[in-house]
Amino acid sequence: MTLRVLLSALLLSLLPYTAEANGWRCGDRLINTGDFALEVRARCGEPAQVERRQRLKKIRDERGRERSKLSEIEEWSYRQDGNELMRTLVFIDGRLQSIYVGGRAPTDTRKCERQMFSKGTPGAELKLTCGEPASRDEWIEHVERELADGTIVGISVIHERVIYNFGPDRFLRIFELVDGRLVKQSTGGYGF
């Protein structure tokens, strides 16, 4: 029975981990959700990786009417030293909305070929860990609906597929993301 418990604990400790936080200490300064991007950059410095995208979404005003709004989204990833967990800060229209806590930043991008990532891992963290992909495809899916007054409201969803090639003796790694978050990872055939 003890061996089973130990094996279960070991397996759980090997699972990839992604969590969300409300604040983070950059050196001796604290940042929190709601802070402006300018404040965060002044406190934390330049991020190691920045990903930008736009999202078209529906919003409802105080009278119950719906309209579309285009939001600017930036994800800043910070990789400190090898002992600290990676942080990805998500800004929407210049305000810090969320802070994702990832795994430890590897110093060797070849570790990417055998590492499993959590569903929901930010794309910026994936790029920091694995480097530049060999191939990247992106497409936008527009979902529209018609309101009672005839107004069309659209929501855009960004899909990405990134492929990493580690050479002819290694398998390709394929990652699929939706709105900047990992939804699927798989292994392809041998690289080239």
Q: How is the chain split into domains, by residue range?
A: 17-190
Res 145 pLDDT > 90? no
Global model pTM greater than 0.95: no
Q: What is the 3-state secondary structure (H, E, C) of the chain?
A: CHHHHHHHHHHHHHCCCCEEECEEEECCEEEECCCEHHHHHHHHCCCCEEEEEEEEEEEECCCCCEEEEEEEEEEEEECCCCCCEEEEEEEECCEEEEEEEEEECCCCHHHHHCCCCCCCCEHHHHHHHHCCCCEEEEEEEEEEEECCCCCEEEEEEEEEEEEECCCCCCEEEEEEEECCEEEEEEEEEECC
Instruction: Give the model confidence (pLDDT) of 110-138 as tens digits.
Output: 667 777 888 988 888 888 888 889 999 99
